[in-house]
Amino acid sequence: MMMDSKLGRLDDLRAERGLASVWFARPNSFAWLTGGDNVVDRATDVGVAAVGYDGTGLRVVTNDIEADRLADEELDDVPVEAFPWHASDLAAAVADHAATPAAADFDVPGFESVDAATLRQPLTDGDVERYRELGGDVAAAVEAVCRDCGPSDTERAVAARLRGALTAGGIDSPVVLVGGERRARAYRHYTPTDATLDGYALVSVTTTRGGLAASCTRTVAFDEPEWLAERHAAAARVETTALAATQAVAHDGGTAGDVFAEIRAAYDAVGFPDEWREHHQGGAAGFAGREWIATPESGARVHLPQGYAWNPTVRGAKSEDTVLVTADGLEVLTTTDDWPTRTHDAVGHEVSLPRPDPLR
C-alpha cells in the first residue's frame, strides 16, 4: 500500500506534465522509492544509481561495478540494468534506457527537471514506522554521548564520539554541531572546534538513515549560566507553539508562512521579539533535513502526516526535536523517555508538550 501511494503520485506527475517516465538519482529520493542507498561518495549530490518509473514498475540503472551489490544488499525485487563503467556515465545511461519524454531530479541531457520534495510529502505509513525507529536511535546516541561528556572535553572530541555512536547504528550524520559555553552563545551554528565545553554545551545533529532525516538538540550543563534556564524555556515554548501551529495551519489548508507568523508572535510573547531574525526556524522534515524552511513569505503547503523539525533559538539556547504531526496529535520521534523534560504551553493554542530540559 505504501508503494502504491508513492507510484500514484508519480502517475499524477506523469499525467500532469505529459511524461513517459521519471528518474531519481539524488540519494534521498532514490531511498524514498526503493528503500536502498545509492551513495558511494558522500561528497556528491548524485548517487551511483538512478531509479525510474514509466507506469509499469520501478527499475534501476547503474554501472557494472555497483549492480550486483545494489541488487544483493540494497534493493528488494527492483530490476537492475547495468552499463559498462568505462563506456558511459549515469546520465547518459539513463537517457539511453528511459522512455521519453522524461524528467529527472539530476541533470540528464534532453530531460525536464523534477523537484521531488513535493512528491515525498506527506509521509506514508511505512515511512512513519521507519521514522520512529530512526528517531529513537538518534536520540539514544545523542543522549548517551551528552551524559558522558564533561567541561574539559573539547567540542571536537564530543563530535567525534557522537559520529561514532551514530555510525554504529547505521546512521549518517551530515550535521554535527557541538558548542561549548563560549561559542554556543556567540554563534547559532557552533561547528566543533578545539574549544572546551566549560559551563555548558549545546549538541545538535541532523542525521539520515534509509533516506529519512532526523534532527534534535540537547543541552547539558555543568556550571549553568544564570540566564540559561530562562532562554531555554523561551525557545522550548516557541517550539511548542510552532508544532501546535503546524497542526492548525495544515487543518485550515494554510502555508509555511502562516506558521512562521505564529512563531514570530510567540517570540514576542516570551519576551525575545527579535531573536527570530538571528537564525532560521526550521520546517518540514522527512526525506531531507528540511523539505522546506519556513520564511515570512513562504507559500509551501503544510502536509499531514509529516515530520517537522522546528529549531527556535534564543542566544545561547536552542530547542529542537523531530516531531510527527498528524491530524490527531504530536508525536516526538527523537526521544528515549529518559531525559529530563518540562511541559510548555503553546502561545495561542490549547496545546502543551513536554520538551527536553537541560541535563544538569
- DSSP string covering 34-88: HS----S-TTSSS-SEEEEE-SS-EEEEEETTTHHHIIIII-SS--EEEE-TTT-
Average pLDDT over residues 169-180: 98
pLDDT at 162: 98
pLDDT at 116: 95
Question: What residue spans define the domains of the chain?
Answer: 2-113, 125-356
**Neighbouring-strand partners of residue 345:** 352
Q: Please say whether the beta carbons of 54 and 19 come within 8 A.
A: no
Longest Cα separation, the chain: 65
pLDDT at 2: 63
| 2-113 and 125-356 agree in CATH topology | no
C-alpha cell at 348: 495561542
- In this predicted structure, the answer to whether residue 351 has a pLDDT above a threshold of 50 is yes
What is the C-alpha to C-alpha distance for residues 129 and 67, in angstroms, rounded to an integer?
28
pLDDT at 3: 81
The crossing angle, in degrees rounded to 10, of helices 228-251 and 256-269 is 150
Amino acid identity of residue 203, one-letter, is V
Going by pLDDT thresholds of 50, 70 and 90, the confidence category of residue 4 is confident
pLDDT at 69: 98
Burial 48-67 (b: 16+ CB within 10 A, else e): bbbbbbbeeebbbbbbeebb
310-336 pLDDT per residue, tens: 999 999 999 999 999 999 999 999 999
The DSSP secondary structure of 207-218, one letter per residue, reads EEETTEEEEEEE
Average pLDDT over residues 248-263: 98
pTM given for the model: 0.96
Domain range 125-356, CATH class = alpha beta
What is the C-alpha to C-alpha distance for residues 51 and 125, in angstroms, rounded to an integer?
22
8-31 pLDDT per residue, tens: 999 999 999 999 999 999 999 999
pLDDT at 1: 45
The SS3 of residue 154 is strand
Average pLDDT over residues 46-66: 98
Domain range 2-113, CATH class = alpha beta
- In this predicted structure, the answer to whether residue 170 has a pLDDT above a threshold of 50 is yes
